[in-house]
Structure 1
């Protein structure tokens, strides 16, 4: 069966607004900042009526994804393999801070897809993890039930990795993709043959003008 896998990125929160790497659980451990803020939750609730229909609902395991899904009126099954990019010891820190303190490490992270100067997951690791999940989706138990439509609330890095894998882009293309909060990215097809629909904002979510 042909699948339509629609990724929906979560509502914005402090980590996004502060250009900060997500913490152990989107900021809940450490500084007390929640994974999505009230403005982000309001945007998600306003867009709830526009969430596309699907026979199966999945979500990344983070509180940011799960709370966004609840605000949208979706009750997904958490998928552990779709966790956010593991930034190791950079988790919870601002990009500007890390760049100032570890410029060589940041340069390696941006320039070498096999590098993991933070001690977490390399870009190659992220692409392999997400790509392997995407390729196995049609063969997973229940994945092909109903009409083949799957809705996945997933972190932007996961969505970008899925796109890079699905359309066989070079790893460096990951850095040229931008996934806005509460936007849709759809992949239609099957393993090895996917068509891509990019970034349509949910009506009522605020669109590109409300991204910051």
Structure 2
């Protein structure tokens, strides 16, 4: 059985992250990462469908496959709003969303729904060789939660910075490698 290696990398820095604003699918990167920041011996490159992930993956060339399961959580009506604005205008809804992983007061996807989507993708992932997957902080948190069997509420305590990497390997079971 050939080992499966999967490295998840968070997209590059966006204005939304810098400003604490809920992301929009067409958010652009503030600066493109260099190929040296991303390169390794990968047999395939996957990307979530949003512009920021595609732009990050695009540094590696044009052989990027879009993987819908790696998409960011849908923020519903909150798309494009800043956290400061939500604190001011919808403090109870924001507090509920931050404390209850099953809630979706914005009408989008809850953290629990995102985690289920990611768990299903990870359970079916079996590409031998080394794969680089460009995705989002919430998706990387959900993967960590699945592998470590963490309570969903604990995922909000994990910071995932731009270009942060999470390296996984599978040989009968998933393992997390700290770099």
TM-score normalised by length of structure 1: 0.78
Output one character per residue of 1:20-49: Cα deviation in whole Å (capped at 9) or x when no partner: 0012x233xxxxxxx112xx21xx02x536
Query: What does residue 16 of structure 1 align with?
Result: 17
Q: State the number of aligned residues.
A: 178
Instruction: Work out whether residues 45 and 57 of structure 2, in 8 Å CA contact, stay in contact via their aligned partners in 1.
Output: no
1:180 equivalent in structure 2:
161
Q: Distance in 2 between matches of 1:123 and 1:96?
A: 20
Equivalent runs, 1:193-204 vs 2, <5 Å: 193-198=173-178, 200=179
Report the Cα distance in structure 2 between the residues aligned to 1:58 and 1:26, rounded to whole angstroms: 18
Aligned partner of residue 16 in structure 2, secondary structure: helix
Q: Which runs of 5+ in 1 are unaligned?
A: 28-34, 201-212
Partner in structure 1 of residue 81 of structure 2: 93
Deviation per CA, 1:135-166, whole angstroms, max 9, x where unpaired? 1111xxxx23xxx2111011111111111112
Give CA-to-partner distance per residue, 1:87-120, whole Å, 9 cap, x none.
0000001011011111110111011111000000
Query: Would the aligned equivalents of 1:7 and 1:153 in 2 still touch at CA under 8 Å?
Result: yes
3-state SS in 1 of match to 2:112: helix
Aligned-CA RMSD value:
1.7
Partner residue in 1 for 2:56: 68
State the partner residue of 1:56. 44
Q: Which structure 2 segments of 5+ residues have no match?
A: none
Cα distance in 1 for residues equivalent to 2:112 and 2:145? 11
Distance 2:94 2:20 in 1: 14
Identify if the C-alpha distance between structure 1 residues 78 and 72 changes in structure 2 by more than 3 Å, giving closer, same or farther.
same
